[in-house]
Amino acid sequence: MSDLHRKLFQTSLPHLNECGDGGIKPTNGEQSTRNPMSLDKYFRDQCRIQTSSSVSLQVYSTLPEPIPDVVFVCHHGAGSSAASFAILARELESQNAGIIAFDARGHGESTLLTAQPLDLGLEILASDLVDLVKNIQLAQNWERLPNLVLVGHRKVSPYF
């Protein structure tokens, strides 16, 4: 069993908030000044999930009922957002596969909930991902997780 797999089943569940409302609601009391691309036509649902490290992640998903055989969990690269996976989401829906994409800490519509320095280390990003998956499992009332496929990309320059 991998360390990530082990951590997935040993970590306590963080608080789940605002899922299913379909809107973006900053949880730090401030209005968002960003003008994000609308992802409504690509993903069926939007919600916010609070991690155990006090970050509110903006999450986009399309999850078929009943529990899908496979769910693609998408983590974007530096300087990007969940919008990177919009076209993929539409394609996967046509194949009856699930998809979860989110704005990682410090990106897109995700927000820090405390006055902490921004940590983008691998360990904290992995912890956020584990919290995300566990919260989705809880929100969907899944007794077991479907097969998960982790999809990611890194920031690449268009110049070689």
Whether the per-residue pLDDT at 21 is higher than 80: the answer is no
CATH superfamily of 3-26+39-152: Alpha/Beta hydrolase fold, catalytic domain (3.40.50.1820)
> CA separation (Å) from 3 to 6, 9, 21, 52, 130?
5, 10, 33, 18, 11
The verdict on pTM exceeding 0.75 is: no
- Could you report the per-residue pLDDT of 89-109, keeping only the tens digit for each? 988 888 888 999 999 888 888
Whether the per-residue pLDDT at 148 is higher than 90: the answer is yes
Burial class (CB in 10 A: 0-12, 13-18, 19+), 20: exposed
**Domain ranges across the chain:** 3-26+39-152
Tell me, what's the pLDDT at 115? 84
Q: How confident is the model at residue 36 (pLDDT cuts 50, 70, 90)?
A: low
Secondary structure of 54-80 in HEC code, one letter for each residue:
CEEEEEEEECCCCCCCEEEEEECCCCC
Average pLDDT score over residue span 133-139: 93
From 31-40, 88-97, 140-149, the region with the lowest mean pLDDT: 31-40
